[in-house]
Amino acid sequence: MGFTAGQYLFTTYLSYRQYQVLKKPSPPKELDNVITQETFKKTQEYGRAKAKFGFFTSFFSFVQNVAILKYDLLPKMFGLAGKFLAAYGHSKWFSGLTAQSIVFLLGFQFVETIISLPLSLYSDFVIEERFGFNKQTIGLFFTDLVKSEILKIVIGAPLIAAILKIIDYFGDQFFFYLWLFMVGFQVVAIAVFPTLIQPLFNKLSPLEDGELKTSVENLAKRVQFPLNKLYVIDGSKRSSHSNAYFYGLPWSKQIVIFDTLIEKSTVDEVTAVLAHEIGHWALSHTTKMLLVAQAHLFAIFALFSAFIRNQSLYNSFGFFSSSSQYPILVGFILFGDILQPLESLLSFAMNLMSRSFEFQADDYAVNLNYGPELSKSLIGIHTENLSNVDADWLYSSYHHSHPILPERLKALRLATEAIQKKKH
């Protein structure tokens, strides 16, 4: 309860600080002749609208979490899952504690999705709509929802079963093997996501021959980026926010550009954005991030092995068992709650690393002579998306994986000037 309340108070305090920044009448100095007063006003309005909604949703989920703890809703749901199985699931291969854990977790997540449904609808169809970003229909919203719920069952159930099996089989040494399994699972997921999962939600079509394709291919050749295919994604189906990214295994990469980005930018600007993205690859940022994430996962599993058989952990959250057989999956969820303060501290560190990577990737693009174009396209993307261009430092340290626009523009300007000086 203390951790839950502490987390809520801390993040609400940060949002309050950020809200004061969102009330400022003029942009940071660096943006003086960069964005118009009118655009700035609109970004502030959009920011405040989202922040107000954020105050409400975080209060809502705080109340929900307290209720779950206070009324022992987890053990109650777990019992219900058992009853459900006893009534409907008479099968040899789907029974016992593992089956009950799977039904419990999927059921619990399903209930949470339903409860938060009005909030998601409000966010997409009221707030995003009001600022002209929502491009999806109610029909598409619900088809997406049904698809992702089915995916959760199809992928989630076997995954949980495998995890529980590994813990069962390897006993106290489970954490190393579980970690290995999860690393393997992630590699497979990265490999099959674009071909098996992504097409369920979006259409990727090869970028047509033309100026943009030639420009990106030349860039890839110049820096020896193993570009395999170039795609355009129909992001405009849902939202008019724009973006670009790449994915794939080390020897074969695919670049995906949002149709919305192509529509609103020049060829050089899109290429500049990709120069930044390729910078992440050239400087091994993706690999470094992946390694940190794996180390994090390993630490969590290793710590969990100290809690896994701790009966008082289960008992104090309302789980009792006559056979001293406790559902490990539930233990992991409870353990997650205990870990929360540590995870919050970690977000500071992770975001600090991520922001420094962003500066480095910008620098990389500058060295390829894309400095001015990158600045232009960043301004364009921020203006189109009405992204916040100012932030409270503490809020930013905790939440932002990217530096805010004025910080990036300043760094880009200084780096470009430094290069020009070298030339003279």
Name the binding residues for Zn(2+): 276, 280, 358
Give me the active site residues, please.
277, 362
CA nearest to 383, candidates 18, 135, 39, 21: 39
Identity of the residue, 307 or 359, whose beta carbon is nearer to Zn ion in the bound complex: 359
Which of these, 360, 331, 348, 358, lies nearest to 397 by C-alpha position? 348
Q: Which amino acid is at 164?
A: L
**Least distance from Zn ion to the Cβ atom of residue 247, Å:** 14
Pick the closer one to Zn ion by CB: 227 or 378. 378
Q: Is the dihedral of CA 259, 262, 263, 269 positive or negative?
A: positive
Name which of 167 and 374 has its Cβ closer to Zn ion: 374
Q: Which is nearer to Zn ion, 164 or 278 (CB)?
A: 278
Burial annotation 8-22 (CB, 10 A radius, 16+ → b, else e): beebeebbeebbebb
CB of 77 to Zn ion, least distance (A): 40
> CA–CA separation, 135 vs 236, rounded Å?
7
In the bound complex, what is the minimum distance in angstroms from residue 275's beta carbon to Zn ion?
11
Given the rule CB under 5 A, which of 62-70, 147-155, 218-226, 351-359 is the region that contacts Zn ion?
351-359
In the complex, least distance from residue 37 CB atom to Zn ion, rounded to whole angstroms? 28
- What is the rounded distance in angstroms from the CA atom of residue 128 to the CA atom of residue 305? 43
Q: Kindly indicate which of the ranges 81-89, 232-240, 296-304, 357-365 contains the residues binding Zn ion, using the contact rule CB under 5 A.
A: 357-365
Q: Is 259 exposed, middle or buried (CB count within 10 Å of its CB: 0-12, 13-18, 19+)?
A: middle
Q: Provide the residue count of the chain.
A: 424
CA-wise closest residue to 399 among 126, 1, 58, 43: 58
Q: Which stretch binds Zn ion (CB under 5 A): 93-101, 146-154, 190-198, 356-364?
A: 356-364
In the 8-state DSSP scheme, what is residue 197? Answer: I
- Per-residue binding letters, 361-400, with Zn ion (x by CB under 5 A): x---------------------------------------
With contacts defined by CB under 5 A, name the span among 10-18, 54-62, 117-125, 360-368 that binds Zn ion. 360-368
Question: In the numeric block, which tokens belong to residue 246?
Answer: 């790449």
Residue range at the interface with Zn ion (CB under 5 A); choices 81-89, 119-127, 352-360, 385-393:
352-360
Nearer to Zn ion, 283 or 419 (CB): 283
Strand-pair partners of 246: 255
Contacts to Zn ion from residues 295-314, by CB under 5 A: none
Instruction: Tell me the torsion sign for CA atoms 13, 18, 24, 30.
Output: positive
In angstroms, give the least distance from the CB of 194 to Zn ion: 19
Closest distance between Zn ion and the C-beta of residue 361, in Å?
5
**Minimum distance from CB of 286 to Zn ion (Å)?**
10
Nearest to 167 by CA among 309, 318, 295, 296: 309
Total chain residues near Zn ion (CB under 5 A)? 2
Residue 374: Cβ-neighbour burial (10 angstroms; 0-12, 13-18, 19+): buried
Which residue number, 361 or 374, has a Cβ lying nearer to Zn ion?
361
Cα separation values, 58 from 5, 40, 410, Å: 11, 26, 34
Nearer to Zn ion, 75 or 380 (CB): 380
Q: How far apart are CA 288 and CA 357, in angstroms?
A: 10
Interacting residues toward Zn ion by CB under 5 A: 358, 361
